[in-house]
Structure 1
Amino acid sequence: MKKLVTIYTIIDQGKKKDYTFTFSMGFTHNTWNEVKDRFELYWNEVVRKK
């Protein structure tokens, strides 16, 4: 069961692009730190390489 969907939007000033991140937090044990870690992982592996 999905309890929360959080959308983060970051504007990359250098590339003039908008990046939107959507996280589905389906369990109570998901914490902000887990979401932040997933966000940072996506940012480092996907966005930075472009």
Structure 2
Amino acid sequence: MDNPATTAPCGHMFEMQAINDYLTTVNVCPICRTVVTGVTQNYAFKNVIEA
């Protein structure tokens, strides 16, 4: 998987490049509007997608 899934602190998941691009202009989750200071790669979700 070239662009892994990531999870924001609020729990919403995004494709890494898309959310990183979005967060360069706005620092809130596009779904719930919670402030996002960073995202974490979601290895469990990545494994589900690749299975």
User: Do the structures match in fold with TM over 0.5?
Assistant: no
What TM-score comes out, normalization by structure 2 length?
0.32
Q: Could you say which structure has the larger radius of gyration?
A: 1
Greater strand proportion: 1
Normalising by structure 1, we get a TM-score of 0.33
Greater relative contact order (Cα < 8 A, sep 6+): 2
